[in-house]
Amino acid sequence: MKVFVTGAAGFLGSHLADTFVAGNHQVVGCDNMIGGDLQNLPEGIEFEQVDCNDLPAMKRLTKNVDLVFHCAAIATEGLSVFSPALIAQHVYLNTANLLAAAASNNVKRFVHCSSMARYGNGPVPFVEDQPLNPVDPYGIAKFASELLVRNVCETHDIEYNIAVPHNIIGPKQKYDDPYRNVASIMINRMLQGNQPVIYGDGGQKRCFSFVQDCVNPLVKMGTMPEVKCETINIGPDEEYISILQLAETIADLLNFDLDPIMVKDRPKEVRYATCSADKARRLLNYKTTVTLREGLQSIIDWISAHGTKPFEYHLPIEIDSPLVPETWTSRLI
């Protein structure tokens, strides 16, 4: 089977590429390197450094491809409130270009990675068929992308599935990005002897999913003939903790004397976000194999082995507003 993975040098995409290369499939990948690292790529992948918005390149790379995994996105939910054009380009428009290429080349199946930002402030735990009410440009772009996936795939006879991952953690995650990946940000800071930064009172609650616990069901969404045209939450629903509790858990693992820096709330941040995994258990035999503490320890080991890094403010803030967190404007993280 020939598999194409977008965002293949990124976090989730590289783990997916690893799995299919290990299974002796022909794997093609692309990444624009905004959030990727060439060291993440597995040996044996056919890789091109190119943006998904390059339609001629997408048509070339999807030729004779059986299965597409669309992982590429600038997944900066908080930043999207102040950079909506950036998010639209790298979440919605890149999906449109990839779908055009996939349809042109008669790709058999398309697996789209959405986000639980689609649910907004809906009742928790989120279930796949509840009304959607995204509250920020990232969630809106992800929801719009889902609509486009359904429309194009149904029109052009492409099997599709839409995955809705939880907050994914694990090795290879970019840990010098100040706009996303809260666990990795905290660990990178604490390993440097710096206190973690917490927005608001730290009572925001999330579940965190170890990356391989997302890869395994994603592979099934790409390969199980009977699972198609489905939207499925991917991630654990057992360990639902606050951001403050997350910091406390990391501090405990590091034997770090915690005294977090508390700053103002970020606009439009969802307070409570966790998904039910019942549908994934039913259709994909999903199960959690890595606990939160084990997943966090894997990040600690990864960053320790590769060295801590200064944070890279690599994305533009498009809207000039007093609401922009000072942590970003003054580069305090």
Within a domain: residue 285? no
Name which of 107, 131, 87 is nearest 222 in CA terms: 107
For residue 284, is it within any domain? no
Structure confidence at residue 22 (pLDDT): 98
Shared domain check, 258 and 150: no
- The answer on 191 and 79 residing in a single domain is no
Predicted confidence at residue 50, as pLDDT, reads: 98
Clarify whether residues 179 and 192 are in a common domain. yes
The pLDDT of residue 185 is: 98
User: Is residue 280 situated within a structural domain?
Assistant: no
Please tell me whether residues 252 and 130 are part of one structural domain: no
Q: Which pLDDT score, from 0 to 100, does residue 297 have?
A: 98
**For residue 269, which of 333, 180, 165 has the smallest C-alpha distance?**
180
Which positions ≥6 away from 226 have C-beta within 8 Å?
Answer: none
User: How many Å apart are CA 22 and CA 127, to the nearest integer?
Assistant: 33
Task: Establish if 281 belongs to a structural domain.
Answer: no
Domain extent at residue 137: 2-168+208-234
Strand partners, 232: 163
| Residue 282 domain flag | no
- 130 and 184 share a domain? no
Q: In terms of domains, do 69 and 143 share one?
A: yes
Instruction: Tell whether 128 is covered by a domain.
Output: yes
The answer to whether 167 touches 292, Cβ cutoff 8 Å, is no
pLDDT along the chain (333 residues), means of 10: 98 98 98 97 97 98 98 97 98 98 98 98 97 97 98 98 97 97 98 98 97 98 98 96 98 98 97 97 97 98 98 97 96 92
pLDDT of res. 213: 97
**Cβ neighbour number for residue 34 with a 10 Å cutoff:** 17
Q: From CA 53, how far away is CA 98, in angstroms rounded? A: 7
- Are both 195 and 322 inside the same structural domain? yes
Asked if 80 contacts 137 with a C-beta cutoff of 8 angstroms, the reply is yes
136 lies in the same domain as 177: no
Is there a cis peptide before residue 125, judged by omega within 30 degrees of 0?
yes
Domain containing 46 — which CATH number? 3.40.50.720
My answer on whether 42 and 122 are in the same domain is yes
Torsion angle of the four alpha carbons 194, 33, 173, 144, in this order, in degrees rounded to the nearest 10 = 110
Q: Within the chain, what is the greatest distance between any pair of CA atoms?
A: 57
Q: Check whether residue 150 and residue 200 sit in a common domain.
A: no
Q: What is the pLDDT of residue 318?
A: 98
Q: Tell me what pLDDT residue 275 has.
A: 96
- Domain closes at, from 186, 216, 234: 234
pLDDT at position 164, please? 98
Say which CATH number the domain at 303 has: 3.90.25.10
- Does one domain contain both 162 and 256? no
Structural domains counted in the chain: 2
Q: Are residues 225 and 308 in the same domain?
A: no
pTM above 0.95, yes or no: yes
